[in-house]
Structure 1
Amino acid sequence: MSKKLFKGLHLHTKFIVLLISVSLIPLIIVGAVTLTLFQHTLESDASKLGHQLAATASAEAKSFMVSQLRILDNIAALYQPEFPIESDTAARVLENILFRSDNFSDLSVVNSSGREIARKNRILAITNKELRDRGESAEFRAVRDAGTYIGPVAVRNSRPYFVFGIQILDSRGAFAGAVFADVDARILPKVVADISKNVGSSGRVYIINDKGIVIGHPDISYVLSEKDLSALPPVRSVIENPLQIGVSARYINEQGLEVLGAAHPVSVELFDARSKNLLHINWYVVAEQPVSAVYRGAREATIFSVLFSLLAVILAGLAALFFAGRISRPIESLHIAAQQFGQGNLNHRAPIESGDEIGDLATSFNSMAETIGKAMLSLKHEEEIITAERNKLSLILSGITNAVIAVDPEGTIVLFNRAAESLTGKNSLNILGGKIQDAIKISDGTRDVPFSEYCPPHQGSQGGLVYRKNDLKITDAGGKEHIVHLVSSRNREGLHVHLGYILMFQDITSEFAMERTKREFVSIAAHQLRTPLTGMKWAVDYLLAGEKGELSPVQKELALQALDATDHMIHLVDDLLDVARVEDGRFDIEPSVQSITPVLDQVMKTFSAEAAKKGVDVILDIQKDIPELNIDAAKMEIVFNNVLDNAVKYTPAGGSITVSLARAAGAVRFSVGDTGIGIPQNESDRIFTKFFRSSQASARHTDGSGLGLFISKKIIDLHKGSISFESKKEGGTRFIVTLPLVA
């Protein structure tokens, strides 16, 4: 759609659009690249800020924990078994430490079995009866085994806290007890509240544990309710892969705000010098900033870019209006001149308004108009000559009895004579200019012959005859079928100009009908002759058998001649019947997989004897282990009989016949070579046609129908094989039959 719209614009408008585009597109590209880089910078800065906040939170948390553990370590020193202090004094020191530190809400000292020996609480007064046994608690076992313990953040009386613990060791370094403290965890919300100031009033920073539970948040309710934020993308990522340095994502948080969040690990590592143990705590700090705040600078830059682009468009438009008129006016004048010229006004000339390239173009256009005007006059004269020649050609073609159709290389009909109208039943006025494929359907009886077959594509400089086929079928407009011979020739002018094709159709429908009638007559006559001939053969055999008395030598000779003549006539009748079946499409084979060698052996028994009577040597070259073939044995026996009969018949006494059967590439090859009269070269292309006998064969032997090789070729074709021959000028012929192996 955009192409059509742009195509319909005038040159003046196109030039304006071009100038504006040239000025605006680079500006847009530079602006887009700059904004993208600016956006990436903002995202990178936000990620760096999150990392810095995590480092700050980690440092403050570690400092807080170290200071609390140092206090507990001092208390542990008071309660070492070897320390010279009274228990009452130690209890007062413990109470003093509790009330001087705002971070402790409960302090207790336990012995080596976990039983409290001293405890002070900020609110409650603890009696000796209220001392607890912490021997089975997780924190006691952790302190006893590891030396130092920092528990998870918990909530009690609406206050978050976590338990700190440290070992008491005797002078030998053996475990003598432990000091535990409930530490107020509200220090963590205070830490993140202070850090959140770095991300602005609209942002927030909070700390989560390794399960995604909030343990430090500017809003203390998140900590007290143990808010689970593990579903947020950056939180989920760091929980699943704690080794990640930092994870940034853009998402909707639990408050429904679109934010840019970054999660970073807060690794607090505390080394206990006495137990040589390293206490490792995995927390994560998440810093969130609203997308609107992060990209505020990008939006302001975008607005500035848009305003600057609009200003550039206005300036480019004004410049385009000025230059477009000066450049497009001479071109529009040329356009008007071209329109006048196209409408046939060859006298119109384009005005020359400038001395630049456009002025040169106008000069060249006027010169071209002058030249074309003269050429048009010359072409008009030549057209009159061509029209006269075409009328002569049409007059000649109208007198030709064969249908003549001329087409161009693409198959468009350019000539259609009267005989073609008569053959197709179509008027030339309706046919000319159409495609030959649409006007005429040519069939060979089994399929439609495509245009590319009878009018093959132009190749090289070949001209003249390109296709010839007999007995094709064409159905005219009235539905009547015509049998035609088609000859197609390529029409060319010189070596490189291909003008098209000339198609000549000879209607042989009546001749074909006569031929079919003749075939039917021959078939009927052959059938009628076979019965009396069979009776005559039986009668002669009856006489020769002596059933009516002993024949005299003369009578016996005459009877034998009659028997030979009868056998010859019966063989001729059988050949005629086979030919009739071939031409009617009723000559089929019934193949089966079997050996061909026994078939050849049976035929050779007869012809070896006949060759011996005539004084002709027979040389056999039968290869062993010939594979089985898919053949009709009875039909192949006919082929062997016909080929061997010709070899014996046309080989003079003293000659020889070589019969071979061997395996070839993917086939079995049977050949019969003789030293007979040979076949003239000028008659070689007619050997396998019906009723043909070579001139040399007819001169030496008057008997013979000329049907044997015709029938043999049809049989071999049905077996999907081939039959050919080789003949020497000085005499001798070799027939080769090739049959394919079973797939």
Structure 2
Amino acid sequence: MIFAEIFALILAITAIVILFLAFKGVASSKKEIETKRRQIDSKLYEVLVLREISEKIGYELNIDKILEIILASLNKLVPYTAAGFMLLRDKRNVLYRVTLLDRAGRELVNEMRDRMVTVLNGQTNKDFHPEDLEEAIDGNTLDGSISGKSSSFWITPLVINGRGLGVLAIASYKPGLYTGEEMTILGQILEQANKALSKLEALLKAEKGKLGALIFSLIDAIMMFDERQNLVVANPAAQKLLGLVPSDTTTIADVAQVLADRIDIRTKFEESVRGDRMVIYEDLVIKDRFFRMVVTPVKNDFGQVLGGVILFHDTTAGKELEKLREDFTTMMVHELRAPLTVVRGTADMFLADSNLAVRPEGRELLESMHGSADTMLSLVNDLLDVAKIDAGKFQVDKTEGNICDIVREKVLAFTPLAKSRGVTVSYETIKECPQFLFDKFRISQVINNLLSNAVKFTPTGGSVAVRVTPENDEAAVRVDITDTGEGMVPDRLKDLFSKFKQLGAKKEGGSGLGLVIAKGIVEAHGGQLLVSSQLGVGSTFTIILPVTS
């Protein structure tokens, strides 16, 4: 601890001085002994004050408290009527603290104030006036019957790292004071405190720099205010969100003005800081986005509240996802309700007419019921597949096979449908297609889905091209399915494999989960399912599977 080091050094020096004076004092006169006793008392005073500063301040950069410690024990060093300090808290706020040891009049206090303001203005190049001061007087009370200015006066500026922060002054009605060695001791105390505070300030500045870098890199908007509600820091996300241009005079009132029609943020801040608790406000809307606002008090190691932090966490994506989940549930209920209605209605008809089964219309009803059951089963299977993929439990049954045969079969199967829609399907493959391990049923399911989509979304006169080629020096095989459909904008591509957003975009029957499942199947093989698209030109879906034996 910086002050502890200073205290230990001074204590050692003082002990040496005491021993030296003790031996030398034997042969000295009473006057010399008394002078040396005063010197020792002064040194001990210096040690005690610095020790008290070390114990009560620690790593806290609290200049107010340091000056209060010095004032509280100053009468042990020099006599005075009034002693005080003036401290610059921020650009326009100055604390003026006065301790009255004896009865004093307002004229003396005002004299100290005016002389200290003059020195402070010279330090800071400001133009402070009495009305800018936050005055506090303790000790004896002011006596209106006493008039006159001081007969002895001592004043010194307070400087840290070359930066003027305030003024310390002592005044007395008695003349001839503040010229002896005591004032040298007081100056030394202030100098030692200045050095220690300068080191501490440099240390805290370095730590603040690290913390600032962390805060500025956060995606969430975050701001910190001190106990007087002045802005300490606001990261770029907060500045952008609230349209703030931080300055030395920015306070929470400026933020409250921005959010005046949405929330009383000042009250929330005070509720958190004064109540020493976290305050959370949900669903705050700013610029058409949802935010969770969290206000927490900031305390030092001694439990003293130093201010508070306000964090804005964007919950818009979560809100949108929740809505998509609700839409997903609604859509699934709708998709299952229709075939269930057919099955239930058909069953009711057969129960009502026992001869229906032998009539032609009865067979048609049974076929319709069978188709509805297939639809429901397909939906349920899709949901189960997605659930397994999400849980990381999706498994494939790999056997050795030829993927070119699978692709060729699917191309032949879709050719009649493509012709009926006026779409041309072409197929190109490598001469020697590799034999490797893959799940034939599942990969067939993927190609089936991709070809179905390609034919479905390609207009009359368009084409679908399927191509099988080696990849990565034949360490993998690549299947490209390219269509000349309407294509997609880049923002749409990122949603293709989202189960909820795909559902909202589906245009025809089915679960809308085909691409989600296809991607899960390919990745279960250790492969990739890629997509590229250009609006008005078409899309290409690419399957890349590792060739494993």
TM-score, with structure 2 as normaliser: 0.43
User: Greater CA radius of gyration, 1 or 2?
Assistant: 1
RCO higher in structure (CA 8 A, sep ≥6): 2
